[in-house]
């Protein structure tokens, strides 16, 4: 029978014993009277509505209440966020779980650990326009496909093609700058692009396209059903400052739970970081993330970050095979469940 991970130590394979968990797991979450612990958080992409809760947490004092001073910075994608954490330049990051698997399979000694999944739905899609839609993965054969370099969807595309027995050479794949992706699709320079739904959809809508003009083919529809963006921490932080890791996980959980309840305020917070953002578009983007990618029936019932262990095992196997990873990745090497906040902190139903 599959094991549901809901934040408690319910699976022996996670190697979490009472002794290993340590006293810091039982400590109450209280603000420290002394100076705050300063940490840096690498976001999964640029600053926008998709990561507005990170800034809302700062505005509302959630970090400070937990003894943290958090600096959140945008990135070019999950690949860059993971590299920043692995190098020690940042202590924490938000990154797609699939990209973390790939990094761990190539750099096991430096790979960050997933501390808490956030998105219950993997948001990668093959995005095309209704005027020339890509309705199934096989439609990519002979098509012009625009892919990025650092985004998780583009990185794991070979694994998805392998899973569906499609020769990668049969796809006319071009690497394009993410800043040019939407323009190239609109102009017809490419037939489709690899993107995260909540990133590309609202960029296109901001350029005058209607949602009905867009066709989405989810990776999950083609057999790859992993969870998505997750909180990651460096191995050094986990080893040397586990209490900080624990508090950061609580802060991130609270940021999403509270942003879900106070959505206009969350958008106001991110607008202060980038006044050129369109608040209407960014609010719609954040609503999409929360209501379609996070608040699934699983999460409503079990809380933010709850997942099925077999789901992780199957996804790792697909990635390891499709990407031909040189080093073995297991749930134990990828995920550290000791830092999952209590279920009461993660309920976002």
Are 195 and 166 found together in one domain? yes
| Residue 335 pLDDT greater than 90, yes or no | yes
Q: Any idea which residue has 């109450």 for tokens?
A: 28
Model confidence pLDDT, tens digit, residues 139-198: 999 999 999 877 778 888 988 999 999 999 999 999 998 888 989 999 999 999 999 999
Q: Which of 206, 222, 238 is the last residue of a domain?
A: 222
Quote the CA–CA distance of 22 and 267 in Å, as a whole number: 38
- 3-state secondary structure (DSSP) of residue 94: strand
CATH number at residue 171: 3.40.190.10
Quote the pLDDT of residue 152.
78
Give mean pLDDT, residues 262-285: 96
Are 276 and 330 found together in one domain? yes
Quote the pLDDT of residue 64.
98
User: What does residue 309 show for φ and ψ, rounded to 5 degrees?
Assistant: -60, -35
CA neighbor of 271 nearest in space, from 285, 290, 257, 250? 285
CA angle 226, 25, 67 (to 5 degrees): 95
Number of domains comprising the chain: 2
Q: Which of 222, 249, 277 is the last residue of a domain?
A: 222
Quote the CA–CA distance of 248 and 191 in Å, as a whole number: 41
Model confidence pLDDT, tens digit, residues 48-102: 999 999 999 999 999 999 999 999 999 988 999 999 999 999 999 999 999 999 9
Are 68 and 137 found together in one domain? no
Tell me the residue range of the domain where 184 lies.
Answer: 124-222
Query: What is the torsional sign of CA 272, 276, 279, 281?
Result: negative
How much is the pTM?
Answer: 0.86
Quote the pLDDT of residue 12.
34
Which one-letter DSSP state was computed for residue 223?
A: T
Quote the CA–CA distance of 178 and 203 in Å, as a whole number: 11
User: What does residue 74 show for φ and ψ, rounded to 5 degrees?
Assistant: -70, 170
Are 276 and 200 found together in one domain? no
């Amino acid at each position: 029978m599959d094991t549901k991970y809901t934040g408690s130590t319910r699976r022996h394979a996670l190697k979490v014993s009472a002794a290993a968990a340590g006293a810091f797991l039982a400590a109450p979450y209280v603000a420290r009277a002394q100076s705050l612990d300063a940490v840096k958080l690498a976001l999964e992409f640029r600053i926008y509505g998709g990561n507005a809760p990170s800034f809302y947490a700062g505005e509302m004092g959630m970090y400070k209440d937990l003894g943290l001073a958090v600096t959140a910075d945008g990135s070019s994608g999950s690949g860059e966020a993971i590299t920043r954490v692995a190098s020690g330049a940042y202590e924490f990051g938000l990154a797609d779980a699939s990209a973390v698997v790939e990094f761990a399979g190539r750099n096991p000694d430096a790979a960050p650990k997933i501390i808490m999944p956030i998105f219950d739905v993997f948001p990668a899609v093959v995005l095309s326009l209704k005027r020339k839609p890509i309705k199934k993965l096989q439609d990519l054969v002979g098509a012009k496909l625009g892919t990025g370099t650092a985004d998780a969807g583009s990185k794991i595309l070979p694994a998805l093609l392998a899973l569906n027995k499609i020769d990668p050479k049969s796809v006319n794949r071009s690497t394009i700058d993410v800043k040019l992706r939407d323009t190239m699709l609109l102009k017809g320079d490419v037939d489709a692009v690899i993107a995260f739904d909540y990133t590309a959809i609202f960029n296109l809508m901001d350029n005058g396209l209607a949602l009905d003009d867009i066709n989405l083919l989810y990776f999950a529809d083609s057999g790859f059903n992993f969870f998505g963006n997750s909180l990651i921490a460096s191995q050094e932080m986990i080893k040397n400052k586990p209490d900080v890791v624990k508090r950061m996980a609580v802060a991130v959980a609270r940021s999403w739970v509270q942003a879900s309840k106070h959505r206009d305020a969350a958008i106001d917070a991110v607008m202060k970081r980038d006044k050129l953002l369109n608040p209407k578009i960014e609010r719609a983007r954040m609503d999409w993330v929360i209501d379609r990618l996070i608040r699934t029936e699983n999460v409503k019932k079990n809380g933010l970050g709850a997942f099925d262990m077999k789901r992780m095992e199957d996804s790792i196997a697909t990635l390891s095979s499709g990407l031909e990873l040189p080093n073995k990745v297991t749930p134990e090497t990828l995920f550290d469940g000791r830092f999952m906040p209590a279920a009461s902190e993660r309920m976002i139903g």
